[in-house]
Structure 1
C-alpha cells in the first residue's frame, strides 16, 4: 500500500477587529497557509469580547495556537506561562525596539510586533482655519502653550464646541510621566511613579476644566461612552483630540476631514523630550500548550515577513515592523495612510532620544480603569488631586500584585 499522505497541522488563530481587518486577515491566512504548510481555523471578535473569550479559553486549557496580543496584556499571559518563546521566528529585518516590545527576560520572545504606531494630537485644520489660526508648532510647544490654546479656542468657538475634550488613559498619563523621566510601570513589574506625580498630573488636567478649556465633567463622561463617528471631534465640534497614529485614517474617514497629526506638548518645549515612543500596534503570540510549536512559529514568521501578506495588511496593524515589508507598503501608500507613515518617520529622532517603554507589568490592564475612574472623581471635584492620586496609586499597586 502507498504511504498515507500527511495532512498539514491545523492551528487555531484568534484576533480582534472589525470587518475590514477580518477580510484582510483572511487574505493573509491564505498566503501563509501555503508558505507555512498549515491549515488555519480562524476565530475573531471585537476588542472587549476578545479578552473575555481569551481569558476563558486559557483558564480552561483551550487557548488558540496563535493569538493576537496587546502589550498591555503580554506580561500578564507570559507570567502565567501561557505563551511560548518564539525564538525561532525570523526577526532579522526588525529593529531592536520592535523586537524588545515582545521580549521579557524571564520568558524570552513571547510576542512578535506586527507594526508600530505612536500617539498623536490630531488637529482639525478646518476648525483652526475657521478661527483664522495656524496650527501650533509641535516641535516647541509646552503644556502651558497647550493650556492657553485650548482655553482660547474654546472661548472663540462658542457654546457646544471645545479646543480639546480631555485626555485618554492610561496613555496620556504615561506620556506625561515619560516627560519627567518616569514610567507607568518598571522593568521589574512595579509602579514607576508616586502619588505626588499623579497628583501633579491631575492638577494640570483639572485646571483645564476650571479654566473652561475642557468640557464639563458631565460632558466628558458622555463623550467617553460615544460610538465611533459620534464624538465631538468627529462631528467638527472640537479642534484637537488624542489618538494612536494608526487610528487617524479611520477618524478622518468618519469625520470627512483630513486630520493633521501633531507631536504632543512637552514640559520643556523640546520635542526630543515629548515622551513619544513607538508602541507595538499589536503582536502575534503562540500558545505555550500548542501541539505544533514549529508550525506556529513558521506561520507567525510568514505573517510578519512575507511581503505579499504585508501588502495585504497595509497599515491596518500599524506601520509594518519588518523594515523590508515596510518599504514595500510605504511605496504604495496615499492619503491619510501616507500622512500617518510620514508622521512616524518625522518623530523617529524624538523617539530615539528617549528611553524605550518597558513591557507593561502583569495586571496593567486594570490601571486604565483606575485612572479613568479617579480622573472623573477629580473632574467632578468629589476628590482633590492628591486624595484621588493616593487612592488610585494604592489601587493600581494592587492590580499589579504588590
Structure 2
C-alpha cells in the first residue's frame, strides 16, 4: 500500500477489476497448463534475462530503475528488464500474463492477491532468500502452505492522518491519540465541518482496512486463518451505521462529494487538497500526502471504543512483497534479485519509506537515520505502536480481492439512502461470504 497504489480511484476499481471472472479464471489456467517452466530467457550476449513488474509512481519507477542498475553492476551476467504501471491496471495485466504463461519472473505482490496466485501454484517458494534480519511477523505475512511465497519489502500501519492547520482554524488541537474515543472523533469532526466553510471533519473510510480495524477493536477479524469470515452481518450493520451517523452529523460532506472523492487519487483527495481534517491512510503514504497538501500531516492511532491505546485495533501489515513466478526458468537468479531488493543497504537507501519501513532491521536502522522530518515521523509512529499491537491479520483467502469493491458499493448505497443500513449490511455480507467461499 502506498501513495499511488491506494488511490481513491484505484480502491474503487480494485475488487471489480480483478474479480473472480478475471483473476481466478486466469490463474486457474496456469494449473491446467501443466508444470513446465516458463518466464526468463537469455540475451544475445548470453546474459540471463529476468522481467520484473511493479506498480507505483514515477518516483518509485526512478528509484527502482536505480536499484536494478545497482544489482546488475554486482551481477553482470543478469539483465533485469523492468515493467511498471499504475495500480488499477496492474492486476488485470498480471492475470492475463499468468493465463498465457508469460508472467514476469519477479512480481511485486500485495497480500490481498497472495493466495489468489499461491494457492494455484503460480508463485515460487522463495526459501533461500535471507530473512534472518526480519521480524517474525514480516515472514509470516508472506508464508502460506506453499512456503515462503512473498518477501516483505517493508511494514506499515493503518493510520488516521490529521491536518493540524485545519484543526487550528477550527479552534481545535491535535488530539491525544492514546486516549481518544470514537465519540471524541465524532465531536471533533462535526466541529470542523460546522466552523469552516468548504472544509470537513473527515473523508470517507478506506476499505477494507477500515472494517478490519473496526472488527479488531471488538476482538474479531474480517477473515480467520481458515479463510472463513470472522464477523456477522450484525457487525457490518454497526459499522455501516457508524459511518451513516458521521454523514448525518455533518462530519462527512454530502454523498455526491464522497462518491467523487473515491474516484480521486491521493493528490486530489480531500486529505491531499486540504479540505478534510482527518483521513484514513497507510503510514507510508504520509510523505506524499503532506507534499500534496503543502504542510506536514500528523499520523494518529485510530480512536477506540474504550479510549485505551491497546484497543485501537492496529497491526503491522506488509506494505508490499516481492514474489517469484512459479514457472520461471531462473529461480536462483530471481531469489538473488529479491534478496538484493530487501537486504542490500543500497536498495534500502533508494527505496527509503516508499515500499514501507524496511523489513530488514539493519537496513531499517540505516534508512531511518537518513530520512527527512515527515518520513521520520511516519517511521517513529509505526515503531511506537509495537507495544500496543494485538497480533497481525491472517493472510487473506482466495476471493478476498473482491471485498473492497463490495464494501465501497454498499457504503454508497447507504450514503445515498438507496438502501437502509440493515439491508445494505445483509446484502454486502452475502456477497463477501460468496466471494471468499468459492
**Residue pairs, 1:132-171, within 5 angstroms:** 132-158=171-197, 160-171=198-209
Confirm or deny: 8 A CA contact 2:296 2:374 kept in the other structure: yes
**Residue pairs, 1:82-231, within 5 angstroms:** 82-104=122-144, 106-158=145-197, 160-231=198-269
Cα distance in structure 1, aligned partners of 2:298 and 2:365: 23
CA-to-partner distance for each residue in 1:146-170, whole Å, 9 max, x for gaps?
Answer: 1121112211223x21111221111
* Displacement of 1:196: 0.6
Cα distance in structure 2, aligned partners of 1:371 and 1:377: 10
What's the counterpart of residue 81 of structure 1? 121
1:26 corresponds to 2:62: no
RMSD: 1.4
User: Which stretch of structure 1 is more off in the superposition, 342-351 or 315-324?
Assistant: 342-351
Out of 411, 419, 424, which is 1:388 matched to? 424
What's the counterpart of residue 47 of structure 1? 87
Confirm or deny: 8 A CA contact 1:89 1:298 kept in the other structure: yes
What's the counterpart of residue 283 of structure 1? 321
* Displacement of 1:6: 8.8
TM-score of the pair, normalised by structure 2: 0.87
CA-to-partner distance for each residue in 1:148-201, whole Å, 9 max, x for gaps?
Answer: 21112211223x211112211111111101111111111111222110110011
Give 3-state SS (helix, strand or coil) of 2:83's partner.
strand
Unaligned runs of 5+ in 1: none
What's the counterpart of residue 97 of structure 2? 57
* Displacement of 1:31: 1.7
Cα distance in structure 2, aligned partners of 1:304 and 1:255: 31
* Displacement of 1:222: 1.3
Give 3-state SS (helix, strand or coil) of 2:422's partner.
helix
Confirm or deny: 8 A CA contact 2:170 2:191 kept in the other structure: no
* Displacement of 1:214: 1.1
TM-score of the pair, normalised by structure 1: 0.95
What's the counterpart of residue 12 of structure 1? 51
Confirm or deny: 8 A CA contact 1:33 1:299 kept in the other structure: no
* Displacement of 1:348: 1.7
What's the counterpart of residue 437 of structure 2? 401
Cα distance in structure 2, aligned partners of 1:95 and 1:124: 32
What's the counterpart of residue 364 of structure 1? 400
What's the counterpart of residue 286 of structure 2? 248
Cα distance in structure 2, aligned partners of 1:230 and 1:68: 25
Confirm or deny: 8 A CA contact 1:86 1:110 kept in the other structure: yes
Give 3-state SS (helix, strand or coil) of 2:267's partner.
coil
Cα distance in structure 2, aligned partners of 1:80 and 1:167: 32
Distance 1:355 1:228, change over 3 A: closer
User: Which stretch of structure 1 is more off in the superposition, 108-117 or 124-133?
Assistant: 124-133
